[in-house]
A = this chain, B = another copy of it.
Amino acid sequence: MDDVAAHAGVSRALVSLVMRDSPRVSDHSRKKVLASANELGYRPNAWARNLASGQTNTIGVMLNDLHNPYFTELAEGVAATAAENGMEVLITSGWQRESGEHAAIDTLLNLRTDGIVIGAARFSGEVFDEVAQQLPAVAVANFDRPDSMDTVCNDEAHGAELVVEHLTSLGHDRIAHIDAGNAPGAPERRRGFMSAMSDRGLAPIVFEGDFNEHAGRDAAEQLMRLKQPPTAIFAANDLSATGVLAHLRSIGARVPEDVAVVGYDDTLLAGLGALSLTTVHQPRQLFGQRATELLIERIKGRTAAKHELIQPRLVVRSSTGPAPT
C-alpha cells in the first residue's frame, strides 16, 4: 500500500480510502490511485484489513456434509443473499464426522467472521450455546432448537401430513411409512405421519428404515410380505424411495397401479424420468436466504432469538395414483 501511495504521489490513507470505495475521494485521485495499484499488481491483504477494521464482511457457513444437496443448496441461498448485501461467504465442512464439525466451527470462530450459518450439525446443544456466545449464529434444519441462536427449520411434520392427505384423497387407506430412526428430521416426519393417519381414523403402519436405498429395499420387502400389503408406501426420503421402487420392480408390482410410492426432499433423483417420484419439496435455497437475513439482523444488533418454520410443498409425479379397488 505504501508503494502504491508513493507511486501515485499520495498518502497511504488515501489509497486505503480508494480501496474501500469511499466517496470522500476526488475522481482525479481515485483514477490515479487505481492506475498505480493496477500497474503494481497491488491487492489489499484481507488479514490486515480485517484485523484493523475489526470486521470481516464475511459470513461463515459450516456444513455437515457437502455431498448432500440439501446443504449445498442451503449454501447457495446463503451465498446469493450475502452477495446482495455485499458480504462474502466462506465455507467449511465437517465431512460427516463430529470431530470434523468441531474443527470446521473452530476455523470459523478463529476467523471471527461477522456471523455463522450452521447446517444441520450433529453436536449437542452446549456447543451451539458456546458458538452463539462468541458470534452471531443461525442453525438451519436442526431440531434440537437451541434457544441461544436463531433457527430456520423445515416443517417436517406438515410435509408428512401433505403426503397422507394426498394419498387418502386418492383412496388409499393402508399406508405404510418407512422411517429413518433418529436421523435429523426423521422423528418429525414419523410423528407427522402418525398423527395425520390417526386424525383420519387410519392405522399408521411404520417400519424401521434409514435415509438410504438399502433400507428402503429391505423395508419394502418386509412390507410386501404382509398378509395385507399396503397400497401406498411413504419412504423416509427419495433415496430410500428408490430402494422401494427397485424392490417393487423386482417382484413385478406395478407403480402406481399396484402400489403408490412417495419420497421426501425432492432431490434430483425424484425428477428423473425413469423414477418420476411424488415427493415433498423443501425450499432449500429459501432456508439459506432466511438464515442469512436473520444473521444480518443479528449482526446489526437484534438480540432476541427468532425461530422460523418453513412450509414444504407436495410435488406430484407419476409414482402415485388412485388406490386399487
Contact = CB atoms under 8 A, between A and B. Distances in A.
A77 to B, nearest CB: 11
Contacts of A50: 47
Given A109-B43, A242-B274, A272-B213, A90 B92 contact: yes
Interface stretch (A26-34, A65-73, A196-204): A65-73
A217 B273 contact: yes
A205 interface: no
A243 interface: yes
In this complex, which of A134, A217, A272 has the most chain B Cβ atoms within 10 angstroms of its Cβ?
A272
A74 to B, nearest CB: 10
B90 A134 contact: no
Interface in A262-277: 269, 272-275
A93 B75 contact: yes
A273 B250 CA distance: 10
B91 A91 contact: yes
A112 B48 CA distance: 11
B274 A245 contact: yes
Nearest to A76: B95
A80 B66 CA distance: 14
A261 to B, nearest CB: 11
A45 B112 CA distance: 7
